[in-house]
Amino acid sequence: MDLKDTSAVVTGGASGLGAATAAALAERGAQVVAIDLDAAIADAPTLERVTYAAADVTDEPQVRSAIGLASDLGPLRTVVSCAGIGPSARILGRKGVHDLALYAKVVHVNLVGTFTVLALASEAIAQTEADQHGQRGVVVNTASIAAYDGQVGQVAYASSKGGVVGMTLPAARDLAQHGIRVNTIAPGIVDTPMLATVSDEFRAGLAAGIPFPQRLARPDEYARLVTMIVEHDYLNGEVFRMDGALRMAPR
């Protein structure tokens, strides 16, 4: 799929994986609407062909508004969901049972939010004119290797990301008639702003557990995989692990 003169939506687009993806899509000629919360947008970099839109991925009217903004900039062809949260809590911890509201919130943001963006964006993409091959767009969602190798304290996060993995194939099958592909990336340990506050020693310990390359992944590597998926028209209904062959230990 050619991205030139098209539009794209990237959630979590103000930092980390989302910011790198927004920049990569813009470099290929797309007009990108980067969705994020107000606080994150305030610190976001200024990039050519990237417009920021404040929205909560679980808020239907806000998501619709951002998608409408993208559609006004050109035919919507690409949607990438990077927004998510990852608090840690055990089912039975020192303070008692897992906060049920916290569990629901993680699933609501990571899974329901991803589906909300997928569904509403697909509605807009389906209204565009198909290219000569009958395709209209591609959606790339973000899971995690925690969907497969969830660690102690990750029950909510792993549940939410497992749901993202599980929706990939049926979503691709649902949307095939509209010429929309759906794929998912399951990253391993990526050097994002969430890791910026940890010590070099801790980061080295994380890297030491990765078979090869023995380092943390970079956001631009995630973005490169996104663009490969978008531009490779035969990739559909698949989950791609990007983890350096890492299989997470229990803790």
Closest CA to 9 of 134, 125, 108: 125
Long-range CB pairs of 162-166, under 8 A, 24+ apart, other chains included: 163/107, 163/110, 163/111, 164/110, 164/111, 164/114, 165/239
Catalytic residue among 148, 157, 222, 234: 157
- Report the alpha-carbon distance of residue 70 to residue 191 in Å, rounded: 29
User: 157 an active-site residue?
Assistant: yes
Q: What are the catalytic residues?
A: 157
